[in-house]
Chain A
Amino acid sequence: MKNERKRTFLLITIPILALFICFNTIPLIRGVIYSFTNFKGFGSYDWVGLRNYADLFTDARVGRSYWFTFKLAVVTTIVVNVLSLLLALALNSHIRAKSFFRGAYFLPNILGSLVVAYIFNYFFTYILPALADMIGIEALRTSILSNPATAWIGVMVVCAWQAIAMNTIIYISGLQTVPEDVYEAGGLDGATGWKQFKYLTFPLIIPFFSINMVLCIKNFLMVFDQIMALTKGGPAQSTESISYLIYNNGMSGGQFGFQSANAVVFFIVIVIVSVAQMKFSSKKEEQL
């Protein structure tokens, strides 16, 4: 009887594990192997040892893509969390048509980011300048996507527009775990408004804050669709995300080997960021 149970578990685990290894582990290893070659993706190739990695750290374009990606991830994460916390507080307060608002605010999250970015692309190029022209805001008269200094803001807006939905919903479920009597007790101590939020509400939803942080940073570090649809990395290569650079130069630019090395480094960076985040948030939770 016991053996039957064991055998069944093994029969389940082995094939699925094999599938996972076949399409996750093996390609990962192959990626590492390609990173030591000058493979273009076709034709013959040579082993170049660590040359790709040495190049990686001296390549200004790769460096810029890391800078851009991290800048985008950090700023968008902050913007998204502040706004969605505000929205969540509003949605959780005593309002009319609660479920309608909730449903409406989640809408952007279900729409495909590629198409959303195409739509915003048109707004940034034509509608926003027209609007600025009418109101008389000099800075917005030209498309923000055409200026290397501001194009990332356009990407940020599109990413935030979609991501706020998700974070808001998570914060709402966090706020719902806060029992009413906490506020009542707090109300007696005279805690209201900002103070009430800072000392009563926020500490209780820290776990949800951590979830949102992890979700945000990870998603934004891998941003791809929005870049593809909005800027294709331009202008002046100012909005090339790491994923976009790997795709663009690795698949079509003939840098299969070099971009494999880039991908390996990117993988390590993701692991470090994720581990650091988990350590940080578990520490934070312990303190409270």
Chain B
Amino acid sequence: MIEKKTNISAMTVLILGLATIALPLYLTVVIAFKQPSEMTNSISGILSLPKTWSLNNFKEAMEITDFWHSLRNSLLITGLSVVLSITVHSLMGYALGRNKAKSKFYSFVYLFIVSGMFVPFAILMMPLAKQTAELGLANWFGVIILYVVFYMPMNVLLYSGYLVNIPMALEEAAKVDGTSTWRTYWKIIFPIMKPMHATVAVLTALAVWNDVMTPLVIMAGSGENTLPLAQLNFQSQFGTNYNLAFASYLLSLIPILIFYVICQKQILNGVVNGAVK
């Protein structure tokens, strides 16, 4: 076996490509720290570092957008949506996956739910705005329920697909011991599906965390914001103070960036699993 050499042309392409990702992020950071008086229209001025690294922009932006409150809402909504999705969707995936081959009813339910993937949010948006209000759900809790419903088609598909790899023999062994189906599920099947839980958690978390439309339609005017919604709602108050605005943008990106740096591997694996399965 000959030792392979580093592919120089590939490295060049990659480093150039990296610049298109790094530059906007670099500028975001730099602008967020600058003062309005430091903003110029020359390239060297745009690229230069701020004169002082003061956190004042961030402090002010936090006040305007009520940052901690929005962050709490975003964390709450994302966290609960993920937990509920894993519980509800894995159960549904199990029930449908184990029965759809031999029962007409279950195979119909399976198709019915999975075909929900084709329903664009646009058509549900207006009736849902009305309906969630009628049910008293025009709040963060309603938003969570909607996420559990919206991501059900995708996640049920993933879970029931994964179940094919889990042999029935495992369950049958438990059945012989007289364990109920319900207990068997939680003791044996649920733990085995761990890799799929990770995938579902990552996919659901990313989608929920960054979603604007659902909270916009369901919670608008309730005085509660998620992080993206806060950016939308306070856009006009920044006026032309782009430094303040960029500080606020950066603040809203930081939580997910930290999360990404810590769990990069799981996120990449999860996303690939979800798409390829």
Chain B's nearest CB lies how many Å from the CB of A74? 18
Query: A24-B149, A166-B275 are known contacts. Are A112 and B7 too (CB-CB below 8 A)?
Result: no
Q: How far is the CA of A246 from the CA of B109 in the complex (A)?
A: 30
Is there an interface contact between B227 and A130, defined as CB atoms closer than 8 Å?
no
Q: How far is the CA of A250 from the CA of B53 in the complex (A)?
A: 45
Is there an interface contact between B24 and A120, defined as CB atoms closer than 8 Å?
yes
Which residues 69-114 of B have a CB within 8 angstroms of A?
88, 91-92, 94-96, 98-99, 106, 109, 112-113
How would you classify the secondary structure of chain B's contact residues: helix, strand, loop or mixed? helix
Is there an interface contact between B109 and A17, defined as CB atoms closer than 8 Å?
yes
Is there an interface contact between B276 and A247, defined as CB atoms closer than 8 Å?
no
Is there an interface contact between A274 and B118, defined as CB atoms closer than 8 Å?
yes
How would you classify the secondary structure of chain A's contact residues: helix, strand, loop or mixed? helix
Asked whether any CB of chain A lies closer than 8 Å to the CB of B267, the reply is yes
Q: Which of chain A's residues have a CB closer than 8 A to the CB of B24?
A: 119-120, 123, 161
CB nearest neighbor in A for B260? A110
Which residues 187-236 of A have a CB within 8 angstroms of B?
208, 211, 215, 221-222, 224-225, 228-229
Is there an interface contact between B125 and A13, defined as CB atoms closer than 8 Å?
no
Asked whether any CB of chain A lies closer than 8 Å to the CB of B175, the reply is yes
Q: How far is the CA of A211 from the CA of B276 in the complex (A)?
A: 7
Which of B55-63, B157-165, B193-201, B209-217 touches A? B209-217
> What are the interface flags for A109-126 relative to B under an 8 Å C-beta threshold, 1 for contact and 0 otherwise?
111111100111011001
Choose among A9, A243, A264, A270 the residue that contacts B98 (Cβ–Cβ < 8 A). A9
Is there an interface contact between A9 and B181, defined as CB atoms closer than 8 Å?
yes
Is there an interface contact between A170 and B275, defined as CB atoms closer than 8 Å?
yes
Choose among B42, B119, B180, B232 the residue that contacts A8 (Cβ–Cβ < 8 A). B180
CB nearest neighbor in B for A241? B122
Query: A208-B276, A222-B121 are known contacts. Are A161 and B20 too (CB-CB below 8 A)?
Result: yes
Size of chain A's interface in residues, with CB distance under 8 A?
85
Q: Which of chain A's residues have a CB closer than 8 A to the CB of B175?
A: 1, 5
Q: How far is the CA of A271 from the CA of B131 in the complex (A)?
A: 24
Chain B's nearest CB lies how many Å from the CB of A80? 13
Chain A's nearest CB lies how many Å from the CB of B214? 11
CB nearest neighbor in A for B202? A110
A170, A173, A211 pick with most chain B CB within 10 angstroms: A173
Chain B's nearest CB lies how many Å from the CB of A217? 12
CB nearest neighbor in A for B88? A16
Choose among A4, A173, A246, A259 the residue that contacts B272 (Cβ–Cβ < 8 A). A173
Query: A16-B88, A16-B92 are known contacts. Are A256 and B253 too (CB-CB below 8 A)?
Result: no
Q: Which of chain B's residues have a CB closer than 8 A to the CB of A31?
A: 123-124, 126-127
Is there an interface contact between B118 and A263, defined as CB atoms closer than 8 Å?
no
Query: A20-B152, A104-B21, A170-B275 are known contacts. Are A250 and B120 too (CB-CB below 8 A)?
Result: no
Q: Which of chain A's residues have a CB closer than 8 A to the CB of B21?
A: 104-105, 107-108, 161
Is there an interface contact between B228 and A112, defined as CB atoms closer than 8 Å?
yes
Which residues 105-164 of A have a CB within 8 angstroms of B?
105-115, 118-120, 122-123, 126-127, 130-131, 134, 161
Is there an interface contact between B7 and A251, defined as CB atoms closer than 8 Å?
no
Is there an interface contact between A130 and B46, defined as CB atoms closer than 8 Å?
yes
Q: How far is the CA of A173 from the CA of B275 in the complex (A)?
A: 10
Q: How far is the CA of A215 from the CA of B175 in the complex (A)?
A: 41
Extra A-B contacts (14), CB below 8 Å, given A4-B180, A225-B213, A243-B213? A9-B95, A16-B88, A16-B92, A20-B152, A87-B14, A103-B264, A112-B212, A113-B210, A114-B231, A115-B252, A123-B24, A126-B41, A211-B276, A243-B120
Pairs of residues from A and B, 6 with the lowest C-beta to C-beta distance, nearest first: A263-B123, A27-B127, A90-B10, A30-B127, A112-B210, A23-B149
B residues near A (Cβ < 8 Å) are 4-7, 10-11, 13-14, 17-18, 20-22, 24-25, 27-28, 31, 41-43, 46, 88, 91-92, 94-96, 98-99, 106, 109, 112-113, 116, 118-131, 145-146, 148-150, 152, 175, 180-182, 206, 209-210, 212-213, 217, 227-228, 231-232, 235, 242, 245-246, 249, 252-253, 256-257, 260, 264, 267-268, 271-272, 275-276
In the assembled complex, 30 residue pairs joining A and B whose CB atoms fall closer than 8 Å, in A order, are: A12-B94, A13-B92, A20-B113, A20-B152, A27-B123, A27-B127, A30-B131, A87-B17, A90-B13, A90-B14, A90-B17, A95-B10, A95-B14, A101-B14, A105-B17, A106-B264, A106-B267, A107-B25, A112-B256, A118-B245, A127-B27, A161-B20, A169-B271, A222-B120, A224-B212, A228-B232, A246-B125, A266-B122, A267-B118, A267-B122
